[in-house]
Amino acid sequence: MKNRKIAHAKPQRRKESPPCAFAPLRELLLVCLLAMTCSLYAQRIISTAPSNTEIISALGYADKLIAVDPYSSKIPGVPQGLPLIDFASPNAEAIVAMQPDIIFASEINRSGAGDDPFKLLREMGIHIIYIPTANSIKDIYSDINQIAQSLHAEPKGRAIVQGMQAELASIAAVGKTIRQKKKVYWEVSSFPNPVSFGSGVYLNEIIELVGAENIFAKEKGWFSPSAENIIIANPDVILEMFYEAGNTASQGLARRPGFQVIKAVKNKALYMIDADSASRTSPGIVKAIKEVAHSVYPEYYD
């Protein structure tokens, strides 16, 4: 059976969109957006995606948030009781009444047709900054620096990025020493159909960083793999981000027809990776990378 391509597949409970087809325009977009906001000192901030919210919090600006998306409400540092807004269909009147200085939006807020849900607010003079979809770790660094620049917190942004780079360099140094590379299947979501990824996704970069191989590295972007192809690839390790209803990671996969012959299932090498850390392109991605490293190669990273 062939794997099914998914145009916009992503974790069901998370907010990050699949890789953008216009990655080469990313830097130009960031520069243009920065130019529009370089003179703005934001005291009243709205964030529409948890990745942006985590970056804002890491920069020390969480106390300036006046409204967030529903998934950002429990992020450490975010004030309790903030208004939670549906940014797919924002209430322009309610948002204007909050008097925001700046809104950090995500490409995921746009509809499939590319419509801008904040067009009316933009026309009313409110600064809207769309943070492009991060397809690589380098893109995550760019997002951090761009938000930091918009908030006039460049030194803090650089410090965060440099700290991340140092930690990942340490992990990569170990990964490069590994000769017997394990084959990894990473299932991002299992409902209604399995969702995984190939090249061009930052999660694939994580697998390679720790010294392993993605069984679907030859695929592009996000897609739905067939059970037959997972079984044929016979991964040494399986990573998941969500439990199947009522089951632990090992129980859910072990019960799938035909999966009992897979090495990872027979050897009980099935691990849960923190979904928030793995699905949010923010400084928290370091936690997910460490979990992957310790899960796939405990003999190297423990």
Superfamily of domain 179-301: Nitrogenase molybdenum iron protein domain (3.40.50.1980)
Amino acid residing at 244: E
Instruction: Count the helix, strand and coil residues of the chain and give each as a percent rounded to the nearest 5.
Output: 45, 15, 45
Reported as a pLDDT band with limits 50, 70 and 90, residue 15 is very low
Q: Do domains 23-132 and 179-301 have the same CATH topology?
A: yes
Between these two residues, 59 and 24, which has the higher pLDDT value? 59
Between these two residues, 111 and 20, which has the higher pLDDT value? 111
Domain locations along the chain:
23-132, 179-301
Query: Per-residue pLDDT tens for 273-302?
Result: 999 999 999 999 999 999 999 999 999 998
d(CA 90, CA 85): 7
Q: What share of the chain has pLDDT > 90, as a percent?
A: 66
**Strand extents, DSSP E, the chain:** 4-5, 45-47, 65-68, 102-106, 127-131, 183-187, 196-197, 213-214, 222-224, 237-240, 270-272
d(CA 67, CA 81): 9
Between these two residues, 160 and 18, which has the higher pLDDT value? 160
Q: Looking at the predicted structure, is the pLDDT value of residue 14 above 70?
A: no
Q: Looking at the predicted structure, is the pLDDT value of residue 126 above 50?
A: yes
Q: Which of 64, 67, 66 is nearest to 43 (CA)?
A: 64
Between these two residues, 122 and 180, which has the higher pLDDT value? 180
Q: Looking at the predicted structure, is the pLDDT value of residue 112 above 90?
A: no
Collect all residues with Cβ–Cβ distance below 8 Å to 97 and sequence separation of at least 6: none
Q: Looking at the predicted structure, is the pLDDT value of residue 146 above 50?
A: yes
Q: Looking at the predicted structure, is the pLDDT value of residue 40 above 70?
A: no
Query: Per-residue pLDDT tens for 149-174?
Result: 999 999 999 999 999 999 999 999 99
Q: Looking at the predicted structure, is the pLDDT value of residue 207 above 60?
A: yes
- What per-residue confidence (pLDDT) applies to 23? 52
DSSP characters over 43-60: SSEEE-SHHHHHHHHHTT
Q: Looking at the predicted structure, is the pLDDT value of residue 70 above 90?
A: yes
Helices (H) and strands (E) in the chain, counts: 13, 11
Query: Per-residue pLDDT tens for 209-254?
Result: 999 999 999 999 999 999 999 999 999 999 998 655 555 666 678 7
Topology adopted by domain 23-132? Rossmann fold (3.40.50)
